[in-house]
């Protein structure tokens, strides 16, 4: 099976990897769904954009705990590095990820479409100015924009928000061009991200799936 997958990747014209929470579990990031998932500990409503607007302070306290205290300590794992090596060898064109942990970049991939945004950046809700997380002091919540004083929000999508651009358009364009798709650590069940592998199948791309369970 591994030899066959390797041959498909070698023979492909353009390869894209599509990754989900599963690839980051070994880095210490719990998945959102399933047993031990974050949704068992935290109320998903906390990640609703309307909740963030109404209860900014409380929302930020949870965000800081999960995303910056917990996720902030993690490092890429072997799987992330393997994808970086494939890119370095010219065998992987891009990564489309549903993860917001930035670990593909940390591992060395340079073409990464972050379909759900990234925790590495914060965005001002008023003037849309973006900041690197390293520029911001999270001891004072909620963090504020230096330019206009507006509230900063992690630049990731909350429930009720659209997929960010240009990640959305870039992901679909990449999908149309790829003849081989490596699905890693994602069940492909969460909309609208699941439109990516579905589109790849419709285009006739060969799909290599790396998951504990077979998905549809
Ligand atoms: Zn601002």
CA nearest to 119, candidates 89, 158, 170: 158
Cα separation, 37 vs 29, in Å, equals 10
The DSSP output letter for 130 is E
Instruction: Write out the chain's pLDDT in tens, 216 residues.
Output: 889 999 999 999 999 999 998 999 999 888 777 777 888 888 888 889 999 999 999 999 999 998 898 877 899 999 999 999 999 999 999 999 999 999 999 999 999 999 999 999 999 999 999 999 999 999 999 999 999 999 999 999 999 999 999 999 999 999 999 999 999 998 777 778 888 989 999 999 999 999 887 765
Enter the tokens of residue 194: 């699941």
Distance, CA 44 to ligand 1 centroid (Å)? 27
Distance, CA 124 to ligand 1 centroid (Å)? 5
Tokens 């090596």 -> residue:
85
Distance, CA 133 to ligand 1 centroid (Å)? 15
Cα separation, 179 vs 190, in Å, equals 23
Cα separation, 208 vs 82, in Å, equals 15
The predicted model scores a pTM of 0.92
Enter the tokens of residue 43: 């109320």
Residues with catalytic function: 116
For 84, what's the count of Cα atoms within 13 Å in the CB-facing half-sphere? 15
């Amino acid at each position: 099976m591994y030899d066959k997958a390797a041959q498909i990747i070698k023979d492909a014209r353009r390869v894209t990897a599509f990754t989900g929470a599963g690839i980051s579990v070994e880095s210490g990031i719990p998945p959102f769904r399933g047993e031990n998932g974050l949704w068992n500990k935290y109320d998903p409503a906390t990640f609703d954009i309307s909740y963030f607007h109404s209860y900014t302070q409380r929302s930020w306290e949870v965000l800081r705990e999960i995303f910056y205290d917990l996720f902030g300590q993690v490092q890429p794992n072997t799987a992330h590095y393997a994808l970086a090596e494939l890119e370095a060898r010219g065998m992987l064109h891009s990564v489309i990820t549903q993860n917001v942990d930035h670990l593909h970049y940390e591992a060395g991939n340079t073409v990464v479409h972050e379909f759900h945004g990234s925790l590495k950046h914060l965005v001002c809700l008023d003037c849309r100015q973006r900041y690197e997380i390293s520029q911001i002091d999270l001891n004072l919540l909620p963090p504020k924009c230096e330019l206009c004083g507006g509230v900063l929000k992690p630049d990731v999508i909350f429930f009720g928000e659209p997929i960010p651009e240009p990640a959305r358009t870039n992901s679909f364009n990449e999908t149309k061009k790829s003849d081989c798709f490596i699905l890693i650590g994602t069940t492909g069940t969460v909309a609208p991200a699941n439109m990516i592998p579905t589109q790849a199948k419709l285009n006739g791309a060969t799909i290599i799936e790396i998951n504990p369970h077979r998905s549809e």
